[in-house]
C-alpha cells in the first residue's frame, strides 16, 4: 500500500430516494466537517463531509436524492459519473452507502438494484425504522442482509440511533468484497448489452457495462447525445437491438421496471411484514393542509407570518441595526486613521460602505432561510407546492416552481439554483427567468427611502392599514404580477410546450431537526457573505473608481482655495458663533466640491450621456447615474445617491438627511423639485422590474451553460423596467395632476 493510499480518506458515496433522511444522516455522520461547492460545468451541488473512526478517515460524497440511476439530465448524469469514477473533479468512490426508507422498501430497492450492478462494496442504512413501525411495517433485517449480500444497519438518523454502528461498518468497508448480484434482466436483454459492448470494443471505445445498459434503455436519446460513443452508425445498432427486444417481449424501456420490480418482489418475500393500522397522522393532517379552502387559508397565513417576521423591526431590524452600527464604526475608525486621499476613499467609501451595505441584509436572508429550512424539513413545502400547482398550471407551470420563487424573495441566486427540483427543461428555464422579478431584499432600501420621502402618509381602517405599507406591498405585487405575465407569454411563445406532468412525493410530517435547519441557515448565510466579499466587493470598488476618477481638482480650484482659507480662519477663530458659521461653510464647501467632482467623474459623464434616455421617466442625470451605478448590484444605489446629492456616500437607508436632501433636490439651475410622487414611483417600479444583479445573471449563465439566457433576462427585464417606470410615471402624474417636467 502506498503512502498516499494510507493517508487519503476512504471515499464513500451516499445515495438514496428523496425524503429518506439522507441529509439528516449525512449531517449526523459528518457533523460540522462539511464543505459544499459545485461540479465544474454542471449545476449539481457538491457536498463533502468527513469523519474519523479507529484512526481511519472517511470522506462522504453526498449525491442528489434520486428515485433511479437513469440519467436524463446533466444533474442526474453527475451521480452516475461520480459512481463510475468518470468525473476528473472527483475521486472514484471506494464504496457506496445506500439509504433506504424502511417503510417503503419496494420502491427504495429499485435504486439499490442499480447500485448493486456497479459492483462497488455497498452498505445499506435502513433508516426511519420507527416511522415504518407506525405504518405497521416490520423488516427482518437479518434476512434482508442475507438476500442482498451486503451489511444492513438499522438507523434512526434524526435521533442519532445506529449512526455509530454505521460508522464502524464504514471503517471496515475496505475489506468488504463487492456484492454478488445476478442481473435482473432477461437473457435476451443481457445478450443485446453484451453485443453492443462488443461493438464498442471493436471500435476501441471502452465503456462500463452499466453505461451500455443505460444507452440501450434511454429512449430519450439523452445519453447517446451526452456520451457520443461508437460513431455515427452506433445509433442504428441500438435501434435494431431495441426492435429485437420488443419482438422478444422485453420492450425498452419498460423492461427495466418489469425486471427490477421482479427482483424486488423476490428479495422482499418474507422480509417485510405489514399489519393493518389506522390511517397515519400525516393523512389526517393533510385533510386540512391540502384542503382547497382551509389549506389555502393556512398557506396564506403562514406566508404572512414569514414575511412579517422577515421585515419586522423587532426580529430582523435589531441585528440589522448592529451590523449597520458595526460598519459605521469601522468606517469611522479607518477614516480617522488614514490620510485623506484615494486610498482612504477607496477603503471607506468603496469597500466598507459597499460591503457593509450588502451585509446589512444578512439577518433577513437568514430568517427567510430559517423558515424555508423548517418548512422543508417538517414536510410542509411539498404541500405548498401541491396547493400552488392549481394556480401555476394556469400559466403553464407546475407547483414545483413555487419553492424557487419563494427563495427568490430573499435573494434570486439561491432561487435560481433551487430550480433544479424541476425536471422539465422548459419549466425550469421559465422559472429561472422569472425568479429575478421576485422582490429580493436588495430592493428594500430603495423602497424605504422613496416611500418615506415621497409617499404621503394616509391611514385607513382605523390605522391598521397605511399608505406606506400599501405602497411597499404594491411593489412586491408589481414583481409577482409581472412574473405571472412573463411566464404566461414565455410558455405561449419561445418556450412553448404542454403543461408537464406533475408528480411529487409528499413526505410524512415530522418535527424539523434543529441541527439540519441550523446547518442549512449557516450554509446559505455563509454563501451570501462570500458573495458580498467577492462580487459586491469588486463592483463597489469599480463604482467607487468610476465615481472618483479622473478627480480633476482644477475644476474646483476656487472652492478648494476658499476651503483652505476657511480652515485657516477656523483655526484662528475664538468666537463661538463665528466657529459655527465657519464649520457650516466648511461642510457646504465639502459637499459642493465632492458634488462637482462627481459630476465630472466617469460615472457622472455617463449619467449625463444617458440623460435623454431617462428623461421620459421623469429622471434627471443624477438619478440616471445612480441607477447606472447600481446595475452590477442594486444594493449600491443608496451610497451612490448619497454621493451624488452632495452628501458623502455614508448615508443609510433611513437617515433623515438623505431623505430631506432628496426632497429638496431641484432640476439643475432651476427651482423645480426633482423628486415627487410620480418620480418616486417610477424609480421604485424600475428597481422592482430591472435585472440589476450581475451575480444573478452569472448564476443563470452557470445553470443554463449558455450566455443566451442571462442576456435574454437582462434585455427583457430592463425593457420591462423601462416601460413599467414610464407607464407608472405618466399614470401617477395624470392622477395626481403633477406637471410632467420638461427642463
Instruction: Select the residue interacting with other proteins from 290, 364, 407, 431 (CB under 8 A).
Output: 290
What is the nearest approach in angstroms of other proteins to the Cβ of residue 516? 20
Tell me whether residue 283 or residue 567 sits nearer to other proteins (CB atom): 283
Tell me whether residue 240 or residue 584 sits nearer to other proteins (CB atom): 240
C-alpha cell at 73: 439530465
Q: Do 649 and 640 touch, CB atoms closer than 8 A? A: yes
SS3 155: coil
Instruction: Select the residue interacting with other proteins from 501, 558, 575, 742 (CB under 8 A).
Output: 501
Reference 346, options 590, 629, 538, 603; nearest CA is 538
What is the nearest approach in angstroms of other proteins to the Cβ of residue 404? 18
Reference 132, options 101, 88, 109; nearest CA is 101
The beta strands (E) that lie in 264-352 are given as: 272-274
What is the nearest approach in angstroms of other proteins to the Cβ of residue 241? 16
Tell me whether residue 345 or residue 508 sits nearer to other proteins (CB atom): 508
Instruction: Select the residue interacting with other proteins from 389, 427, 650, 703 (CB under 8 A).
Output: 389
- Other CB atoms within a 10 A radius of the CB of residue 76 amount to 19
692 touching other proteins, by CB under 8 A: no
294 touching other proteins, by CB under 8 A: no
Q: What is the DSSP string of 465-492?
A: EEHHHHHHHHHHHHHHHHHHHHHHHHHH
Q: Is 394 annotated as a binding residue?
A: no
The one segment of 81-89, 280-288, 518-526, 624-632 that binds other proteins by CB under 8 A: 280-288
567 touching other proteins, by CB under 8 A: no
Contact pattern for other proteins over residues 504 through 543, marking x by CB under 8 A: xxxxx-----------------------------------
Instruction: Select the residue interacting with other proteins from 3, 503, 574, 737 (CB under 8 A).
Output: 503
Which residues is 124 bridged to in the sheet? 98, 152
- Other CB atoms within a 10 A radius of the CB of residue 379 amount to 20
Length, in residues, of the chain: 743
Tell me whether residue 30 or residue 508 sits nearer to other proteins (CB atom): 508
What is the nearest approach in angstroms of other proteins to the Cβ of residue 659? 49
Question: What H or E segment, with its residue span, contains residue 224?
Answer: helix 222-227
Q: Is 45 annotated as a binding residue?
A: yes
List Cβ neighbours of 718 (8 Å cut-off, separation of 6 or more).
690, 691
The one segment of 279-287, 472-480, 525-533, 704-712 that binds other proteins by CB under 8 A: 279-287
Tell me whether residue 502 or residue 709 sits nearer to other proteins (CB atom): 502
Q: Is 221 annotated as a binding residue?
A: no
Q: Which DSSP category does 134 fall into?
A: H
What is the nearest approach in angstroms of other proteins to the Cβ of residue 265? 10
Tell me whether residue 395 or residue 536 sits nearer to other proteins (CB atom): 395
Instruction: Select the residue interacting with other proteins from 1, 461, 498, 554 (CB under 8 A).
Output: 498
The one segment of 248-256, 299-307, 442-450, 621-629 that binds other proteins by CB under 8 A: 248-256
Q: Do 614 and 636 touch, CB atoms closer than 8 A? A: no
401 touching other proteins, by CB under 8 A: no
Contact pattern for other proteins over residues 449 through 488, marking x by CB under 8 A: ----------------------------------------
Q: Which residues of 407-421 are buried (b: 16+ CB within 10 A; e: fewer)?
A: bbbbbbbbbbbbbbb
Instruction: Select the residue interacting with other proteins from 228, 287, 530, 672 (CB under 8 A).
Output: 287
By CB under 8 A, the residues from 118 to 147 that bind other proteins are 135, 137
What is the nearest approach in angstroms of other proteins to the Cβ of residue 271? 14
38 touching other proteins, by CB under 8 A: no
394 touching other proteins, by CB under 8 A: no
262 touching other proteins, by CB under 8 A: no
Tell me whether residue 106 or residue 142 sits nearer to other proteins (CB atom): 106
CA-CA distance, 406 to 271, in Å (whole number)? 42
What is the nearest approach in angstroms of other proteins to the Cβ of residue 258? 9
SS3 96: strand
Question: What H or E segment, with its residue span, contains residue 10?
Answer: strand 10-16
Tell me whether residue 134 or residue 324 sits nearer to other proteins (CB atom): 134
Instruction: Select the residue interacting with other proteins from 88, 182, 278, 292 (CB under 8 A).
Output: 292
The pairing of beta strand 459-460 with beta strand 465-466: antiparallel
Give the residue ranges of DSSP H helices in 573-676: 576-600, 602-614, 621-629, 637-644, 656-664
398 touching other proteins, by CB under 8 A: yes
Q: Is 129 annotated as a binding residue?
A: yes
Give the residue ranges of DSSP H helices in 360-408: 362-378, 380-392, 402-407
Reference 599, options 557, 550, 638; nearest CA is 550
What is the nearest approach in angstroms of other proteins to the Cβ of residue 679? 46
Instruction: Select the residue interacting with other proteins from 32, 57, 257, 391 (CB under 8 A).
Output: 257
Tell me whether residue 154 or residue 607 sits nearer to other proteins (CB atom): 154
What is the nearest approach in angstroms of other proteins to the Cβ of residue 173? 27
Tell me whether residue 96 or residue 102 sits nearer to other proteins (CB atom): 102
Question: What H or E segment, with its residue span, contains residue 202?
Answer: helix 187-202
SS3 14: strand
Q: Is 257 annotated as a binding residue?
A: no
List Cβ neighbours of 12 (8 Å cut-off, separation of 6 or more).
58, 59, 60, 61, 93, 94, 95, 96, 97, 170, 173
The one segment of 8-16, 27-35, 97-105, 660-668 that binds other proteins by CB under 8 A: 97-105
Tell me whether residue 18 or residue 195 sits nearer to other proteins (CB atom): 18
The pairing of beta strand 10-16 with beta strand 34-38: unpaired
CA-CA distance, 420 to 404, in Å (whole number)? 9
Number of residues in contact with other proteins, rule: CB under 8 A? 45
For residue 153, which phi and psi values (nearest 5 degrees)?
A: -110, 115
What is the nearest approach in angstroms of other proteins to the Cβ of residue 110? 6
List Cβ neighbours of 147 (8 Å cut-off, separation of 6 or more).
267, 271
Question: What H or E segment, with its residue span, contains residue 23?
Answer: helix 22-30
The one segment of 392-400, 448-456, 626-634, 699-707 that binds other proteins by CB under 8 A: 392-400
Q: Is 424 annotated as a binding residue?
A: no
What is the nearest approach in angstroms of other proteins to the Cβ of residue 502? 4
By CB under 8 A, the residues from 59 to 78 that bind other proteins are 67-68, 70, 72
Q: Do 311 and 535 touch, CB atoms closer than 8 A? A: no
Q: Residue 703 CA to chain centroid, in angstroms?
A: 11
What burial class does residue 586 get, using C-beta atoms within 10 Å of its C-beta: 0-12 exposed, 13-18 middle, 19+ buried?
middle
Which residues is 10 bridged to in the sheet? 58
The one segment of 43-51, 92-100, 360-368, 388-396 that binds other proteins by CB under 8 A: 388-396
Residue ranges for the known binding site for Mg(2+) are: 27-28, 30-31
Footprint on this chain of other proteins (rule: CB under 8 A) = 67-68, 70, 72, 101, 103-104, 106-107, 110, 135, 137, 219-220, 253-254, 256-257, 261, 282-283, 286-287, 290-292, 382, 386, 389-390, 393, 398-399, 423, 498-508
Binding site for GTP: what residues are annotated? 16-23, 41-45, 62-65, 127-130
Amino acid at each position: 500500500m502506498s503512502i498516499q493510499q494510507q493517508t487519503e480518506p476512504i471515499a464513500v458515496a451516499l445515495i438514496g430516494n428523496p425524503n429518506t433522511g439522507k441529509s439528516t444522516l449525512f449531517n449526523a455522520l459528518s457533523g460540522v466537517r462539511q464543505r459544499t461547492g459545485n461540479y465544474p460545468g454542471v449545476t449539481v451541488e457538491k457536498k463533502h463531509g468527513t469523519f474519523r473512526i479507529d484512526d481511519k478517515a472517511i470522506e462522504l460524497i453526498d449525491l442528489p436524492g434520486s428515485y433511479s440511476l437513469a440519467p436524463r439530465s446533466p444533474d442526474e448524469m453527475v451521480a452516475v459519473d461520480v459512481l463510475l469514477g468518470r468525473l476528473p473533479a472527483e475521486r472514484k468512490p471506494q464504496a457506496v452507502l445506500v439509504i433506504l426508507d424502511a417503510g417503503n422498501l419496494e420502491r427504495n430497492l429499485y435504486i439499490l438494484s442499480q447500485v448493486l450492478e456497479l459492483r462497488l462494496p455497498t452498505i445499506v442504512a435502513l433508516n426511519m425504522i420507527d416511522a415504518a413501525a407506525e405504518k405497521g411495517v416490520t423488516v427482518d433485517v437479518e434476512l434482508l442482509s442475507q438476500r442482498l449480500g451486503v451489511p444492513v444497519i438499522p438507523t434512526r438518523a434524526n435521533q442519532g440511533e445506529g449512526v455509530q454502528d454505521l460508522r464502524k461498518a464504514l471503517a471496515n468497508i475496505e475489506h468488504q468484497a463487492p456484492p454478488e448480484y445476478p442481473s435482473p434482466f432477461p437473457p435476451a436483454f443481457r445478450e443485446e448489452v453484451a453485443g453492443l459492448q462488443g461493438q464498442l470494443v471493436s471500435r476501441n471505445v471502452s465503456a462500463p457495462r452499466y453505461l451500455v445498459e443505460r444507452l440501450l434503455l434511454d429512449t430519450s436519446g439523452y445519453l447517446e447525445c451526452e456520451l457520443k460513443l461508437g460513431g455515427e452508425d452506433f445509433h442504428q445498432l441500438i435501434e435494431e437491438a431495441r426492435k429485437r427486444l420488443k419482438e422478444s417481449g422485453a420492450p425498452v424501456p419498460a423492461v427495466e421496471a418489469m425486471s427490477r420490480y421482479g427482483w424486488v418482489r423476490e428479495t422482499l418475500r418474507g422480509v417485510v411484514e405489514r399489519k393493518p393500522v389506522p390511517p397515519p397522522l400525516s393523512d389526517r393532517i393533510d385533510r386540512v393542509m391540502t384542503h382547497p379552502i382551509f389549506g389555502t387559508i393556512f398557506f396564506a397565513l403562514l406566508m404572512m407570518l414569514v414575511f412579517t417576521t422577515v421585515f419586522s423591526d423587532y426580529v430582523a431590524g435589531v441585528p440589522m441595526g448592529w451590523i449597520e452600527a458595526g460598519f459605521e464604526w469601522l468606517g469611522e475608525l479607518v477614516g480617522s486613521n488614514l490620510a485623506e486621499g484615494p486610498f482612504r476613499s477607496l477603503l471607506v467609501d468603496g469597500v466598507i460602505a459597499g460591503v457593509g451595505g450588502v451585509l446589512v441584509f444578512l439577518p433577513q436572508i437568514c430568517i427567510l432561510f430559517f423558515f424555508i429550512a423548517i418548512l422543508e424539513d417538517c414536510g410542509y413545502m411539498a404541500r405548498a407546492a401541491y396547493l400552488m400547482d392549481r394556480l401555476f398550471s394556469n400559466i403553464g407551470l407546475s407547483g414545483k416552481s413555487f419553492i424557487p420563487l419563494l427563495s427568490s424573495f430573499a435573494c434570486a441566486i439561491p432561487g435560481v439554483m433551487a430550480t433544479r427540483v424541476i425536471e422539465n427543461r422548459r419549466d425550469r428555464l421559465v422559472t429561472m427567468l422569472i425568479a429575478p422579478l421576485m422582490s429580493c431584499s436588495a430592493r428594500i432600501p430603495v423602497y424605504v427611502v422613496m416611500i418615506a420621502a415621497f409617499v404621503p402618509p394616509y391611514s385607513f381602517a382605523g390605522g391598521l392599514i397605511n399608505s406606506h405599507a400599501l405602497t411597499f406591498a404594491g411593489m412586491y405585487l408589481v414583481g409577482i404580477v409581472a412574473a405571472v405575465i412573463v411566464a404566461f407569454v414565455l410558455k405561449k411563445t419561445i418556450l412553448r410546450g404542454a403543461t408537464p406532468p406533475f408528480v411529487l412525493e409528499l413526505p410524512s410530517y415530522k418535527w424539523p431537526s434543529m441541527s439540519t435547519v441550523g446547518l442549512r441557515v449557516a450554509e446559505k448565510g455563509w454563501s451570501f457573505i462570500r458573495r458580498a466579499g467577492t462580487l459586491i466587493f469588486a463592483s463597489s470598488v469599480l463604482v467607487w473608481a468610476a465615481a472618483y476618477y479622473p478627480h480633476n481638482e482644477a475644476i474646483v480650484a476656487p472652492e478648494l482655495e476658499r476651503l483652505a482659507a476657511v480652515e485657516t480662519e477656523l483655526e484662528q477663530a475664538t468666537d463661538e458663533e463665528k466657529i459655527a458659521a465657519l464649520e457650516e461653510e466648511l461642510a457646504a464647501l465639502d459637499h459642493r466640491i465632492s458634488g462637482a467632482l462627481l459630476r465630472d467623474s466617469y460615472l457622472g459623464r455617463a449619467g449625463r450621456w444617458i440623460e435623454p434616455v431617462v428623461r421620459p421617466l421623469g429622471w434627471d442625470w443624477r438619478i440616471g447615474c445612480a441607477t447606472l451605478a447600481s446595475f452590477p448590484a442594486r444594493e449600491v444605489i443608496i451610497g451612490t445617491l448619497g454621493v451624488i446629492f452632495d452628501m458623502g456616500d455614508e448615508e443609510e437607508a433611513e437617515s433623515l438627511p438623505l431623505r430631506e436632501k432628496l426632497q429638496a433636490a431641484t432640476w439643475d439651475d432651476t427651482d423645480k423639485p426633482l423628486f415627487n410622487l410620480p418620480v418616486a414611483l417610477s424609480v421604485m417600479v424600475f428597481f422592482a422590474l430591472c435585472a440589476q444583479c450581475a451575480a444573478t445573471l452569472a448564476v443563470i449563465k452557470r445553470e443554463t451553460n449558455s450566455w443566451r439566457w442571462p442576456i435574454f433576462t437582462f434585455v427583457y427585464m430592463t425593457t420591462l423596467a423601462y416601460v413599467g417606470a414610464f407607464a407608472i410615471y405618466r399614470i401617477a402624474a395624470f392622477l395626481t395632476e403633477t406637471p410632467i417636467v420638461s427642463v
